[in-house]
Each structure stands twice: as structure tokens, then as C-alpha cells.
Amino acid sequence: MKYAETGFALEVDLTRGNIEKVPTDPKMTGLHLGGDGVAAAILWERVPPEVAPQSPANLLIFSAGLLAGTPIPGANRTCVSSISLQSNLLVNANFEGFFAPELKHAGYDRVVIRGKSTSLVYLWIHDDKVEICDASHLQGKSAMETTAILRKELKDPNVQVATIGVAGENKVSQASIEHANSSASQGLGVIMGDKGLKAIAVRGTKDLGIARPDELFARCNALYGEIYDNPSCGDLLLSEHDNAWHVANLPWTAAGERVKGFWTPELGQEWGVRVEREEIGYQWENYSQEMEEVRETVVEESKLVRGTGCYNCPKNCHKVLSLPGERQYFLKSYSRHVYAMAAYGDLKLNYDVLYAMQDFGLDENAMVQLFAFVQDLHQAGIFTDSDLPDFPADPIGRYLYILEKVANRQGIGAILAEGLCQAAGQIGKGAEAYVRGVKKTAQLPLRWKTANYASFLMYAAGDKMDISQVEGSFPQLPIPDRKEREAFVKVWDAAPQRFKEWFLDWEPEQQFSIEAAAEIVGWNEAMHYADDILGICPLLSSFRGQFGGKPPYHLNNLPQLVSLATGIELDVAGLLEISRRNRQLIRALNAGRGQRRADDEFPAELWENRDTAMEQQHLDAYYSFMGWTAEGIPTRETLTGAGLDHVSKVLMARGLLTGE
């Protein structure tokens, strides 16, 4: 009997309209566990480098984390994986919520989608009943509208839906896959739209087996309380009132164009939306004995309705807001910042802008970068009034203008919808100089006042395409006061001893040794890979080590939970080995698709006075720590040692590795 997993996957061929329920491979589970690890293994086996992202042979995989659906609090993430249209490399993005547990309870660990439908369809999964259904009535609908329509149509309010909006239907590169209060970004919505798949709706009523239920429930009951009481886990960004650091360090554009001192406490109150309108009515006036006109000013304001959490999690990271016009908006994790409450002119984003992005099904991070790109080109004279007819004068109006043009591929939006790098190439006139991203993907534009070489490695060499999915287990900045550092380290159960010593000796403005920086980055990555294969929310784990030093989950306690849930005997060394195996596999897959050292770079302006020679020394040290060649390809010895001998043989056959 399988524990914590169902032992089955769905194989869906949209070209043929064929659906198969197939047993999963126990060997693959043993090597990669679940989530993006198993997804990467499937893509390696079935999508060779000659398969283009928009080919029917490209796969779109929805893979539940191994622990999703178990009693373990916060284990609810779904990993979506494919080959990126923008970079031609493997891309994976995780979303929280309820989809992965529901998929498990329906009897499936993952859904593997290939082919293309000639018309818009949705996939309906209800335990053993699985159908490809017509979705013509959903065309042009937003994610929230689609979810509401399907729940009504399927006569079940508990149906969980992952869907694209109009941007995905129009194959916009910045399209996201939306689910409740979360989304999968990094350009995966365009792959779903290219396949003609509007949505996946799932409802499950089956039990999920647990290897040692009594022990696991006892541990999870205690964990639930610990997480609830822990002030340093969950999405703190949505709860903070002082966003000065994020505004100062997350610039959309070059530093010289930022407004100094942009953030004020009063600005935080201006995110709300306030609409005034005059209503005209009539009432009988006894004195004049006739109907008289009555004018009344009615004010509608955005209001916080409630906080809401994900499946089996005591934190309420997501916020439900009511907006004027009877609209409801789910404030997703991080989206209030959009990684860009940056001081560009007098721009003050509000919930209207965020609602519009969610309504169209557009990735907030990517659209922030795109808006900055348009603004820069407009100021530089590369974009003229003919390119942007009727371009509003106010910043919010401009943002909404760009959103509509891109989502519907209207006018200049048709070019911008191809992605930043592709759009810049079509525009020409020096537009390439204004592209800021890594590996042709829009990244969080974190700007440091001085060089931070660990961040350089996470940006440049990371395969997650998003630094927030690499950083976090080790603090980004030192604590100036030695006694405070000692207090931090005292409760830092997650870190190896040498990491604690490095942190204790870390003074402001001081750099780590090159070797230490490389090892810190490798540890950060391993922790995130563990979360992604298990389905653990990083806001309870890998991203929270830097805050308070006491995340509920870490490499030292996760193996016991895995063993209790699955029956797989696993220790710290074993989980670390699997995490690093998946990292090596993804790097090898991308190397086969052309990734090389020259691609491990990042935007020039992210800090001043860059020392490129020192950056390359750090890259050398990181490659050496990871066991890669000078070009950043895992060596034969590294792959064989990671249990990936079959991968090394393929790379050798392709001439990417030698026998030495």
C-alpha cells in the first residue's frame, strides 16, 4: 500500500482526447520524492532538447508535493513544470492553496498534459471520473469568474480550480495560472493557453493513507500550535505597515530615476480604493405638495473582509478585499508589494491595479518589469505617441492601459506580450539596453548598496528563475549587535554549526570568504528544493530562516515527518542528497538545452562599482562546490555520484561531457 501518495498519475493527451490512469514509478519516487523533482525527471525522459516550448510534445505537469494532503500543516503546494517559451529552459513555479490536496484525495499524485486541443477545453477530475470538457462558455472569463462558473456547473462548491485568464488564452508570455488566492508565474500560463486548456477542475473524496498515523497526528497537533504562535513565519510582507526597505531596495528602473524618501507611513493608507458618486432620488415634500429632487453623495471604499489561509495551515497570509463596484479581490502572497512598490515618479499602486492583473491572469512580477520597460522606452523617445496612442498622463492610468493592451494583444501590446527580450529585439532602436532580467526571465530587482556575492550567485546561477525561491534560509544581512547575533544563533536549529559560526563573525560591510559564499548558496538552494518536492510552504520553512532563526520546518526535522507520513526511512543526509540530486538533474536538463556559463549573469545596475573579476571567482568556487565543469555543466562524476548515471551517459553521447 502507498502512503502519503496515491501511486497513480493522469496522462492527458489533448490532441487525441485520450486520458489514462497510470501507476507511478516507485523507483522515481525513491530518487526524487515528488513535486518538481519528479516533474523534472519526467521532462528529462520525455522532452528532449529538440522539442520546442510550443510543440505539442512539450509537457505541462501539475505535480503535488509528496506531503500534500497529509496532516502536516502547510503541506499544500502544487508544482507546475514545463519548458519555458521565454528561455527555452525548464521552468517550475509553485502555488499554495487547496489544489494539490484535492488532487491527492481524487486519487492522483500528478497530471501530465501533452498535445494541443483545437478548441478551448477544461479538464474535470472527480475521483475516477475524468473528462475533457468544452470550455467555449469560459472564453474571455477571468480566473475568479471561471472558478465560480465551474463550481455552479459541476454543482459542488468544493471543486478546486487552476485556470488561466484572457492573457493565457491569448498566449501572452506574462500569463499566470491562477488558483484561489495563489498563482503559478514564470510564463507557465502561456504554455497552458497554447495547449488550449482553460482550466483543471478537481474534486476528491478518497482517503489518503498514512504510514504511522498516531505518531504523525501527535506531532502535527503540536506543530499546528507552534506555527500559529510563531510571529516569524507566514507572509509577513502582507502584515507589515512600514514598507520603507522594500520601496528603497526593489526599484523598477535605474537608481537615478527613483524618488528618494518615497515611502511615508501615510502612503500605506493610500493603497485603498475610494469612489464617490452622486445618486439622485425623489421624495414627496409635504410643504410644497410635490416631488422634489434629492442629491446624495455615496462613498464606496475598499475594505478588508477577512484573512484566509491555505489548506491545513493556521496562518491567514492571504487577504480578501471588497472593492467598489461589488468586486472581490484575493490579495495574494507578496502581491501587495508586487516586488515593486518602487519609487518611480509619483506612482502609487492601488488595489485597482492589482485586481486588474489578477482579472486578466497576468503575473504581477513580470508586469512590473514590463511597465518599467515601457516607461523607460517612452522617456528615451524609443516609444512615441504613435506607439502608445491615447497613453494616459497619470501612472495608474498608464499601468491599466498597458495591462489591457498586453492581455488582449492590442497594438504595441502584441509585441510586449512576446516577453521582454523578444519584444526588445523586435522594437530595436537600443531597446535591449532597458531589459532587466536573468536568463530572459523577469526577476525580482533587488538592489544592494554594496556588492553581495551570495546574492550574485543566487541571481546568476540559480535555476529557479526567481531569487525569492533560492534565498531565505541564511540571513541576507548581518545583525550589527553581537549580543543580538548570539541570541539569533542560539535558537537557529536549522543551520549547520559552521554556518552559525560564519554568521556570528559576520560584521556589516564584511564579505564572506568565496568558499563560504558558495556553500551558503548551495544550502539555501537545497532547502528550497526540499520544500518543493515535499509541498511545504517556504513561508514556514526555507524563506523564513532569515527571520528569527526559528522556522517551523527545516532539513533537521523534515525527514522524520516524511518517514511518519510515507514509511520511507529518511534522515537528514538522505533528504539533502535527494534535494541536491534534483538540483543536478535540472541543471543537466538545462545544459542539454544550451545553458552555459555565459548565461549565469544578472543585470549590471543592481549594485554600483561591480567587480566582475570577483564575481567570476565566486562563480568558479560555486561551480567547484556543485561539481560542475568550467561551463557550468555537472560532471560525469557528479551525476554518477548523485544516482544520475543515465543522465551523464546522455550528456556524453551529445558531446557535452567527456569521459574525463
Output 291 or 429, whichever has higher pLDDT: 429
- 275 backbone dihedrals φ, ψ, rounded to 5°: -125, 130
Same domain, 428 and 521: no
Burial class (CB in 10 A: 0-12, 13-18, 19+), 209: middle
Q: pLDDT per residue over 161-220, tens digit each?
A: 999 999 999 999 999 999 988 888 888 999 999 999 999 999 999 999 999 999 999 999
CB of 479 closer than 8 Å to CB of 546: no
Name the average pLDDT for the chain: 87
Contacts of residue 50, defined as CB under 8 A and 6 or more positions apart, other chains included, come to none
Among the listed ranges 3-7, 80-84, 313-317, 415-419, which one has the minimum average pLDDT value? 313-317
pLDDT bucket at 82, cuts 50 / 70 / 90: very high
Burial class (CB in 10 A: 0-12, 13-18, 19+), 112: buried
Same domain, 396 and 465: no
The pLDDT score that the predictor gives to residue 339 is 42
Same domain, 394 and 469: no
In a domain, 461, yes or no: yes
Final residue of a domain: which of 168, 184, 203?
203
Domain holding 389, by residue range, is 364-442
In a domain, 406, yes or no: yes
**Cα 152 from Cα 599, distance rounded (Å):** 47
Same domain, 568 and 437: no
* CA 323 vs CA 328, 360, 364, 376: distances in Å: 6, 17, 19, 31
Q: How far is CA 572 from the centre of its chain?
A: 26
**Is the confidence at residue 115, as pLDDT, over 70?**
yes
**Is the confidence at residue 284, as pLDDT, over 50?**
yes
Same domain, 404 and 532: no
- 626 backbone dihedrals φ, ψ, rounded to 5°: -80, -15
Q: pLDDT per residue over 545-603, tens digit each?
A: 777 678 899 989 999 999 999 999 999 999 999 999 999 999 999 999 999 999 998 77
- Which grid cell is 422? 523578444
- Which grid cell is 466? 526567481
Q: pLDDT per residue over 229-265, tens digit each?
A: 888 787 766 555 556 666 666 655 544 455 566 666 6
In a domain, 566, yes or no: yes
CB of 32 closer than 8 Å to CB of 529: no
Same domain, 509 and 572: yes
The pLDDT score that the predictor gives to residue 181 is 80
In a domain, 248, yes or no: no
The pLDDT score that the predictor gives to residue 525 is 92
CATH number of the domain residue 146 falls in: 3.60.9.10
Output 137 or 274, whichever has higher pLDDT: 137
Q: What is the domain count for the chain?
A: 3
Q: Quick one: average pLDDT of 396-420?
A: 93
Q: Quick one: average pLDDT of 322-329?
A: 72
- Which grid cell is 538? 517556504
CATH number of the domain residue 390 falls in: 1.10.569.10
**Is the confidence at residue 422, as pLDDT, over 50?**
yes
Final residue of a domain: which of 203, 221, 254?
203
Q: Quick one: average pLDDT of 116-136?
A: 98
Q: pLDDT per residue over 441-465, tens digit each?
A: 766 666 666 778 888 898 889 887 6
- Which grid cell is 98? 487547496
The pLDDT score that the predictor gives to residue 27 is 94
**Cα 225 from Cα 119, distance rounded (Å):** 48
**Cα 610 from Cα 594, distance rounded (Å):** 27
**Cα 583 from Cα 32, distance rounded (Å):** 10
Q: Quick one: average pLDDT of 332-344?
A: 51
Same domain, 470 and 436: no
Q: Quick one: average pLDDT of 403-422?
A: 95
pLDDT bucket at 311, cuts 50 / 70 / 90: very high
Contacts of residue 443, defined as CB under 8 A and 6 or more positions apart, other chains included, come to 365, 369, 436, 437, 459, 465, 466, 467, 602, 603
Reduced to 3 states (helix: H, G, I; strand: E, B; else coil), residue 93 is strand
Final residue of a domain: which of 203, 236, 253?
203
Q: Enter the pTM of the model.
A: 0.92
In a domain, 257, yes or no: no
pLDDT bucket at 518, cuts 50 / 70 / 90: very high
Reduced to 3 states (helix: H, G, I; strand: E, B; else coil), residue 533 is helix
pLDDT bucket at 345, cuts 50 / 70 / 90: very low
Same domain, 84 and 198: yes
In a domain, 221, yes or no: no
Convert 285-311 to b/e letters by CB count within 10 Å (16 or more is b): eeeeeeeeeeeeeeeeebeeeeebbbb
- Which grid cell is 185? 508565474
**Is the confidence at residue 281, as pLDDT, over 50?**
yes
The pLDDT score that the predictor gives to residue 395 is 77
Convert 552-563 to b/e letters by CB count within 10 Å (16 or more is b): bbbbebbbebbb
Q: Closest Cα partner for 388 from 428, 367, 415, 419?
A: 415
Same domain, 162 and 32: yes
pLDDT bucket at 347, cuts 50 / 70 / 90: very low
Among the listed ranges 208-217, 269-278, 507-516, 647-656, which one has the minimum average pLDDT value? 269-278
In a domain, 253, yes or no: no
In a domain, 50, yes or no: yes
pLDDT bucket at 350, cuts 50 / 70 / 90: low
Same domain, 407 and 485: no
pLDDT bucket at 321, cuts 50 / 70 / 90: confident
Contacts of residue 604, defined as CB under 8 A and 6 or more positions apart, other chains included, come to 610
- 307 backbone dihedrals φ, ψ, rounded to 5°: -90, 150
**Is the confidence at residue 424, as pLDDT, over 50?**
yes
The pLDDT score that the predictor gives to residue 198 is 98
pLDDT bucket at 418, cuts 50 / 70 / 90: very high
Same domain, 496 and 416: no
The pLDDT score that the predictor gives to residue 276 is 65
Same domain, 44 and 109: yes
Exposure on the CB side of residue 109, measured as CA atoms within 13 A: 29
- 538 backbone dihedrals φ, ψ, rounded to 5°: -65, -20
Output 603 or 51, whichever has higher pLDDT: 51
Q: Quick one: average pLDDT of 87-107?
A: 95
Output 160 or 545, whichever has higher pLDDT: 160
CATH number of the domain residue 470 falls in: 1.10.599.10
Helix axes 514-534, 453-461, angle to 10 degrees: 50
